Amino acid sequence: MDSMDQEVLRTGTRWLKAGHRVFLVTVVKTWGSSPRPEGAMLAIREDGAVVGSVSGGCIEDDLIAAVRASRIVDKHPSTLKYGVTAEEAWRFGLPCGGTIQLVVEPLVDASVIGTLYEAVSSGKLVSRTLDMETGAVLLADAAQTDGLHFDGQRLVTIHGPRYRMLVIGGGQLSRYLCSMAVGLDYQVTVCDPRTEYADEWDIPEIRIVRTMPDDAVLEMRLDRRCAVIALTHDPKLDDLALMEALRTEAFYVGALGSRSNNAARRERLLEFDLTSNDIARLHGPVGLYIGSRTPPEIAISILAEVTAAKNGVVVPKSSTIEGAKPIRALEAV
């Protein structure tokens, strides 16, 4: 679930409480290329006001026109499909002849999207099961590995932070990085046993723990939907986290520092019974090369690399901090 979809729940809840007629539209299946993934949502009010997105814009325009003209009046959930023909795919801006299937659900109090929004806002991961025949809804706890399911009779969607991030260090850079990570819908934990940093942490959406970093890694039971980023510059803290994180399935493990510092770090990690393959997973220096200098720019650089790893994009070494800086140095000669 991304932040746009959380805004759909919040706004849809507000519209419903104000007495408006509201439709919730969810992408349930795509074929070929699609601008938005399965699970993406939008809410449409009876006057055509809309929040969220299910395509590049043309499908939204058609849905808005249909709602305004009262062409969508079903009392129970229904399905729509766009892009079945090449002509229709072109008309609705679907790339490469893509096709998209939607569930259109008229919202009522029993849709419990207000309850769902409150649960998601508190950091919970929730499944929502919609009965297509009756419109009945059931909310339940979900697991990180659960995903959308639609069989024509039931629609099961997952809402809340699907990915977790552990940041070692509560300094200024961490504040920028963690705030941005929350916007990317990570459930963020900051670990810093140093009281001068932990005592000043005041970002409410982010959990702060004061345990030693290796204990924090073990307590979180990292899986393949987790990222770990070490930012303290203190090997006594960073190395403790890295030696445990590199043994897990975390999709991203990185550390701040210069190329020489990270080379020394890799040598130290060999002393912790890590294999060369384990250590090869370490991203360090962390981030993509974008000429970043300020803490916000560095945070963007780091999150860009994390996002690429999350999405399975292989970044050329020449685009990383480690690979780009030697090239830049040669070009300056």
Give the Cα separation of 181 and 173 in Å (integer): 12
The residue among 289, 168, 300, 163 whose CA lies nearest residue 227 is 163
Q: Cβ neighbours of residue 260 under 8 Å, at least 6 residues apart?
A: none
Task: Please state the rounded mean pLDDT for residues 83-96.
Answer: 57
The residue among 187, 190, 51 whose CA lies nearest residue 120 is 187
pTM: 0.69
Task: Please state the rounded mean pLDDT for residues 107-131.
Answer: 91
Q: What domains are there in the chain, each with its CATH number?
A: 3-159 (no CATH), 163-332 (3.40.50.720)
pLDDT tens for 261-293 read: 989 999 999 888 888 899 999 998 999 999 999
Q: Rounded to the nearest 5°, which phi and psi values hold at 162? A: -80, -20
What tokens were used for 276?
A: 């060369």
Give the Cα separation of 27 and 148 in Å (integer): 10
pLDDT tens for 197-246 read: 777 777 777 899 999 999 999 999 998 889 999 999 898 999 999 999 99
Please report the sign of the dihedral spanned by the C-alpha atoms of residue 44, residue 50, residue 52, residue 58. positive
Residue 185 CA from chain centroid, whole number: 4
Q: What is the DSSP letter of 172?
A: H
pLDDT tens for 233-262 read: 898 999 999 999 999 999 999 999 888 998
Better-predicted residue by pLDDT, 67 or 144: 67
Q: What is the pLDDT of residue 125?
A: 86
What tokens were used for 264?
A: 């020394």
Give the Cα separation of 5 and 2 in Å (integer): 5
What tokens were used for 302?
A: 């780091």
